[in-house]
């Protein structure tokens, strides 16, 4: 038990270091904790939006592959592998189902992204078992199936997990290793070229994922900055309206008040909330006690 706990602690520490390193690549480390929490929330939200589709696709692909190759590696072996893929997929769907009604995240800790990275590593490792089970298989049909599924899962993970590069890396690393071993097991020149192309394509995918995450950080930073500026402007405008000695008001095309200053409301003898939505004519009829000179100012 102690050994397992130590290994789990080492895994979390490794993933935390990886996350901080990739935070430096994406520029997330340049922001304070509160802002970084917003970025992580957006990352997790973006991934969660694709979770149902990707997990259902993984379930279907695993079932089809296990059934189609049951005579190659044995029905029991392929069924066990499919179950290993299904378990994390079903857990992900269960987690998504529970959180779906909670609204959009506004803040997330590093622990949340670490959990997603660990889950990605587990699912990627489950998929990585398939090439190893079929290692040494000479049937061209089987080799095409294995290579196609491997590159398809890598591309799918890069697309679904793109906002979180560490999760992409955690998923594809074991699959890259097992797929490369599968390709190079039959040491031919063609397989060597194929393995090289495979690694190059994966490298391009990882670079693209990091770039996407960096762009997401920049976009969210711009949104936060714009929102903060808008809040400051709104606060200053409200302060000006509340403290101005002038009578300030705004009404729509139907001559109904949308907003009035405190000074205007005090002069009219009506609270600002009660004035909003009322027509100018209605207020004029109510305020008959005011002198005509004062009414003209309204």
Residues 96 and 35 in one domain: yes
Domain annotation covers residue 112: yes
The count of structural domains within the chain is 2
pLDDT of residue 4: 47
Task: State yes or no: pLDDT of 83 exceeds 80.
Answer: yes
pLDDT band at residue 227 under the 50/70/90 scheme: confident
Entry pTM: 0.65
Lowest mean pLDDT among 107-116, 165-174, 256-265, 280-289: 280-289
Domain annotation covers residue 287: yes
Residues 201 and 286 in one domain: no
* pLDDT (average), residues 172-193: 83
Residues 69 and 150 in one domain: yes
Q: Distance of CA 58 to CAs 23, 94, 245, Å?
A: 28, 15, 66
pLDDT band at residue 245 under the 50/70/90 scheme: low
Domain annotation covers residue 14: no
Residues 225 and 262 in one domain: no
Q: Find the helix or strand (DSSP H, E) in which 287 lies.
A: none
Task: State yes or no: pLDDT of 104 exceeds 60.
Answer: yes
Measured between alpha carbons, how far is 90 from 83 in angstroms, rounded to an integer? 10
175, 203, 229 - which closes a domain: 229
Tokens 């889950």 sit on residue = 119
Taking the CA atoms of 173, 175, 178 and 182 in sequence, report the sign of the dihedral they define. negative
pLDDT band at residue 197 under the 50/70/90 scheme: confident
Instruction: Output helix, strand, coil percentages for the chain, rounded to the nearest 5.
Output: 80, 5, 15
Residues 67 and 174 in one domain: yes
- Domain residues for the domain of 262 are 244-297
Task: State yes or no: pLDDT of 128 exceeds 90.
Answer: yes
pLDDT band at residue 296 under the 50/70/90 scheme: low
Tokens 């031919």 sit on residue = 188
In the chain, the percentage of residues whose pLDDT exceeds 70 is: 68
Domain annotation covers residue 1: no
Domain annotation covers residue 283: yes
171, 202, 229 - which closes a domain: 229
pLDDT band at residue 13 under the 50/70/90 scheme: low
Per-residue pLDDT tens over the stretch 17-52: 545 554 544 444 454 456 777 778 877 888 888 889
Residues 188 and 213 in one domain: yes
Domain annotation covers residue 10: no
Measured between alpha carbons, how far is 124 from 32 in angstroms, rounded to an integer? 32
Domain annotation covers residue 32: yes
Residues 133 and 219 in one domain: yes
Residues 140 and 280 in one domain: no
Residues 250 and 196 in one domain: no
Cβ atoms of 51 and 239 closer than 8 Å: no
Domain annotation covers residue 144: yes
Residues 268 and 204 in one domain: no
pLDDT of residue 193: 82
Nearest to 127 by CA among 75, 71, 170, 67: 170
Task: State yes or no: pLDDT of 127 exceeds 90.
Answer: yes
Residues 193 and 252 in one domain: no
Residues 190 and 249 in one domain: no
pLDDT of residue 290: 53
pLDDT of residue 222: 73
203, 229, 255 - which closes a domain: 229
* pLDDT (average), residues 162-182: 87
């Amino acid at each position: 038990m102690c050994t397992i706990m130590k290994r789990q602690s080492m895994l979390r520490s490794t993933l935390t270091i990886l996350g901080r390193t990739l935070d430096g690549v994406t520029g997330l480390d340049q922001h304070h904790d509160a802002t970084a929490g917003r970025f992580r929330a957006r990352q997790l939200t973006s991934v969660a939006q694709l979770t149902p589709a990707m997990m259902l696709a993984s379930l279907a692909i695993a079932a089809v592959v296990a059934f189609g190759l049951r005579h190659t590696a044995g029905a029991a072996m392929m069924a066990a592998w499919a179950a290993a893929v299904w378990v994390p997929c079903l857990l992900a769907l269960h987690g998504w189902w529970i959180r779906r009604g909670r609204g959009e995240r506004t803040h997330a800790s590093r622990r949340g992204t670490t959990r997603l990275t660990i889950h990605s590593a587990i699912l990627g490792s489950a998929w990585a078992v398939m090439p190893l089970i079929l290692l040494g298989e000479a049937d061209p049909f089987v080799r095409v199936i294995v290579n196609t599924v491997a590159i398809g899962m890598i591309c799918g993970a890069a697309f679904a997990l793109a906002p979180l590069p560490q999760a992409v890396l955690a998923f594809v690393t074991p699959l890259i290793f097992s797929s490369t071993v599968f390709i190079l097991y039959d040491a031919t020149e063609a397989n060597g070229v194929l393995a090289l192309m495979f690694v190059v394509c994966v490298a391009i995918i990882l670079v693209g994922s990091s770039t996407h995450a960096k762009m997401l950080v920049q976009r969210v930073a711009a949104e936060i900055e714009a929102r903060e500026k808008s809040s400051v402007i709104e606060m200053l405008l409200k302060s000006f309206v509340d403290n101005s000695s002038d009578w300030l008001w705004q009404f729509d095309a139907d001559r109904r008040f949308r907003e009035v200053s405190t000074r205007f409301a005090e002069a009219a003898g009506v609270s600002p909330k009660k004035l909003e939505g009322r027509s100018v004519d209605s207020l004029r009829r109510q305020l008959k006690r005011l002198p005509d000179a004062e009414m003209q100012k309204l």
